A and B are shown apart, each in its own frame.
Chain A
């Protein structure tokens, strides 16, 4: 039987996919070097403000182009002045020599959406912007946005997808925020879809978790749904639903006082051992209340730092294990995700 060990890391990354390269305000009219999927990339905005991403290595002696200069909309290498336009074509060679055919760098397709700069890491001809994950309620005046943030996690991205398909961990990792007693023992359902995996469960007649309590429009106990979904290659939607106890269920309409929060979590592998983690949340209340946005921004950051501490230590532990590790029932969703993603990577 061939199986994916929870400790084994994928040999590569899925390249034909959209990843987040940066928040939109992180890239301006200046050369910025980033590493994504083990590839060094130079990013900047052209004079019209359009984001550009080029292979960060001059084809002559592989000097990073980020060590050169912006000349208008083009990049000039800091060694001999080979100059490349936003499409990656060479527009100037030193000493007036003819431009060699091989003098070009890869230009990565780039799109801006949801305040983020998305980059296509695979074959440019396959880049389809309609495949960027859709964010429900984006721009809906009734919904608020917790403008997100980002952090760098010293862990393989698949330990983070494990975590984002595991609603049970909140009972131990986030005791002061997302967790409550019911999170420890209710069994979630797993659904495998073509585009990812969903692990979800309703918890009935339970106390609201501390993180959400101040924002509920009703008193007393709640029915709570945790919807943990990760889509290939590594983008998660975590939906939290709270309704008055006795009114929840997938077959029932949402109660008028329902609390809804959709957390979008985008993972970009930097290397096998390092991941950039971007996030924001959509909420169905207090759309323009900056204090609410700020409160959530702080609470979410605190909770995600709790995950970061655990996941970095898990990565170190699994990379240095002195005895075998086991898989539990709760690993079904995460391991299904790893298996399917490994198949998709192998098929590229």
Chain B
């Protein structure tokens, strides 16, 4: 299954390759995403999910509002479009 990750604000679409999280994947691809704890605690890495779906690979302390994902705790379930 070939998934893509689109960083809308950066205007880039990249093929998903295995990474620990969308946060790590964004960093590998030179897309600047804010973060602090990297463990689903602080909410700093919350980003709007404009299309697609994600899987939580780590349980965050709080689930974000609908339409928002915590980049540090998630990987793509389908191709995704992020407001980044």
Contact = CB atoms under 8 A, between A and B. Distances in A.
Interface stretch (B8-16, B22-30, B37-45, B76-84): B37-45
Nearest to B38: A329
A4 B37 CA distance: 14
Interface stretch (A60-68, A220-228, A274-282, A330-338): A330-338
Given A3-B62, A336-B61, A331 B41 contact: yes
Contacts, number: 43
Nearest to A327: B42
A291 interface: no
A332 B61 contact: yes
B66 to A, nearest CB: 11
A169 interface: no
Contact of A3 (B36, B39, B61, B68): B61
A329 B39 contact: yes
The residue among A326, A328, A331, A332 with the most chain B CB atoms within 10 A of its own CB is: A332
B41 A329 contact: yes
Contacts of A332: 37, 39-41, 61
A1 interface: yes
A328 B37 CA distance: 4
Interface residues of A, number: 13
A239 interface: no
Interface string B64-82: 1100100000000000000
A25 interface: no
A3 B62 CA distance: 7
A331 B41 CA distance: 7
Interface string A1-30: 111100000000000000000000000000
A100 B4 CA distance: 78
A50 interface: no
A339 B62 CA distance: 9
Contacts of B68: 1
B48 to A, nearest CB: 12
A328 B36 contact: yes
Nearest to B39: A329
Interface string B44-66: 10100000000000000111110
B65 to A, nearest CB: 6
Given A1-B46, A1-B68, A327 B41 contact: yes
Interface string A93-135: 0000000000000000000000000000000000000000000
Contact of A339 (B38, B42, B61): B61
Nearest to A329: B39
Contacts of B65: 1
Interface in A56-95: none
A328 B42 CA distance: 8
A342 to B, nearest CB: 12
B38 A335 contact: no
Contacts of A327: 36-37, 41-42, 44
Nearest to A5: B42
B37 A3 contact: no
Nearest to B64: A1
A329 B37 CA distance: 4
Top 6 A-B residue pairs of the complex, sorted by shortest distance between their CB atoms: A327-B42, A329-B39, A326-B36, A327-B37, A1-B64, A332-B41
Interface of B: 36-44, 46, 61-65, 68
Given A327-B41, A328-B41, 12 more contacts: A1-B68, A3-B43, A326-B36, A326-B44, A327-B37, A327-B44, A328-B37, A329-B38, A332-B40, A335-B61, A336-B61, A339-B61
16 contacts: A1-B43, A1-B62, A1-B63, A3-B42, A3-B61, A4-B61, A326-B36, A326-B37, A326-B42, A327-B41, A327-B44, A328-B41, A329-B37, A331-B41, A331-B42, A339-B62
